[in-house]
Structure 1
Amino acid sequence: MADADLEEIRRARLQQLQQQSSQQGGSNDGSQGEAQRQRETEARQSMLSQILTPEAADRLGRIRLVKESRATDVENRLIMLARTGQLRAKVTEEQLKELLNAVSEAQEEKEKSKIVVNRRGWDDDDDLEELMREV
C-alpha cells in the first residue's frame, strides 16, 4: 500500500471515530468513558494492523501475554514512528526484534540509573532498647 493510501485510511477512520463520539454525546459519563477507551483501543489495533506484518503482529501478541507493559511500550513507539512518517513499509518480525532490543536496553539503562539510599540510624528496635537501658 502506498503512503497516500494509508494516510487516507487513517483519516477516514479518524473521521468515523469522531462521528461516533459526537453521536454518543448524550450517554452517561461511565459508559461514555468506556466507549471512548474502546474506540481508542480499536484505533490502535487498526493502526498496528496497517503497520505490522502478520508475523510481527503475532510476535507482539505473544509478548503481550508475557509482559503487557513491554508490548504497550513497543506499540506506542511504532505508532509514533508511523505518525511521524518514519516507517516506509510494514514492520517485519526482524525489525520488531530490533525494536524490542532497543526498548529493553532503554529499560535496563533506566533501571541502572536508580539511586538507592540506605539510611542507618536509631530506628532499629535493638538500638532503641539498648539506649533505654543506658538511661
Structure 2
Amino acid sequence: SQAEEMRRTMLSQILNNEARERLARIAMVKPEKARAMEDLLIRMARSGQLRGQVTEKQLVELLENINQQSQSST
C-alpha cells in the first residue's frame, strides 16, 4: 500500500544501514516490537527529536529504554 511505502521510505531516511538491518532482524523474531519501534522512530523524526540518521548503537539504546519502561509498568 502507499502508506507502507511511505513508511519504508521514512525509515530508510531515519536509519543508517546497520540500524535498518538490526530492526529487520528484530522484526523476524518479534514483528510487533519492531513495528512499535518503527512507529516511535517515525514520531520522533516528525517531532524533530532525531538529529541525523539513527545508528545501530542508538537503536539499541532506544530498545533498552523501551524494555525498561515496559518492565517497570508491569
Range of TM-score over shorter length = over 0.9
TM-score by length of 2: 0.94
- The percent identity for this pair of structures is 46
Unaligned runs of 5+ in 1: 1-37, 113-135
Q: Supply the AA of the counterpart residue of 1:39.
A: Q
CA contact (8 A) 1:73 1:103 kept: no
Question: How far apart are 1:83 and its partner, in Å?
Answer: 0.1
Q: Is 2:55 the partner of 1:92?
A: yes
Give the alignment's TM-score, normalised by structure 1.
Answer: 0.53
**Gaps spanning 5+ residues in structure 2: where?**
none
Question: What are the superposed Cα offsets for residues 3-26 of structure 1, whole Å, 9 maximum, x if unpaired?
Answer: xxxxxxxxxxxxxxxxxxxxxxxx
Count of matched residue pairs: 74
Higher-Rg structure is 1
1:73 match: 36
Residue in 1 that maps onto 2:7: 44
User: CA–CA distance in 2 between the matches of 1:84 and 1:74?
Assistant: 15
8 A contact 1:52–1:91 mirrored in 2: yes
Which deviations, in whole Å up to 9, do the C-alpha atoms of 1:72-91 show, x marking residues without a partner?
11111100010001111100
SS in 2 for 1:87: coil
Aligned residue among 50, 53, 66 for 2:16: 53
| In 1, Cα distance between equivalents of 2:40 and 2:13 | 15
- Bigger RCO of structures 1 and 2 (CA < 8 A, at least 6 apart): 2
Residues 28-55 of structure 1: per-residue CA shift (max 9 Å, x gap): xxxxxxxxxx111111100000010000
Whether the aligned pair in 2 keeps the contact of 1:55 and 1:92 (CA below 8 Å) is: yes
Q: CA deviation at 1:60?
A: 0.1
Give the AA of the match of 1:58. Answer: E
Q: State how far apart, in whole Å, the 2-side matches of 1:44 and 1:63 are.
A: 17
